[in-house]
Amino acid sequence: MHPLTEKIREAIATTTEGLTEEQLRRHPEGKWDSASILEHLALTFGGTTRVMDKCVREGRPLATSASMRHRIAQLLVLRFNYIPSGRKAPERVVPSGIGSKEALQLIFTNLERMDEALRICEEQFGCKKKIADHPVLGPIPISGWRKFHLAHTLHHMKQIQERARGGSEADRKLAAAR
């Protein structure tokens, strides 16, 4: 397993270890619960796997040209590890509401599959060549895909930790004001 994939796996395992079903289902009003966050991440890992598999099947990278918007997003996410909050997820990675145990199983399965697909693409095309387009970041290399998934996972692990503790400070203040 690639070292960044191992960091992703470790972050998920450490964050979710010992969480109860109640903690995994807790969420602020209008937001996903932790099980849904895990399912969302599993879906993103699966999506990346499908894109990498397509590159291998076609025998070529599928990246297009980066726009200025892509370059700015790449700088924020891949250089500064900043994932902005409040962005609506693409429809294909919106959770359907599977159970928390199923979400945990799916996330680790899809993470392993993604790691293997990225490894195969890296062997075939190298880690620096832009391989495929991310929906927000545009064309990025294998190393960018790995960095994105680490930053994205860590962003969501913070949310899971907040939900397990009963919400963010802002959520607790809002609830107290009601």
Per-residue pLDDT reduced to its tens digit, 152-162: 999 999 999 99
Contact 52, 120 (CB under 8 A): yes
Note the pLDDT tens digit of each residue in 97-108: 898 889 999 999
For residue 50, the model assigns a pLDDT of: 98
pTM of this structure: 0.90
For residue 16, the model assigns a pLDDT of: 95
> How would you class 168 by CB atoms within 10 Å of its CB: exposed for 0-12, middle for 13-18, buried for 19 or more?
middle
Q: Which CATH class is domain 3-177?
A: mainly alpha
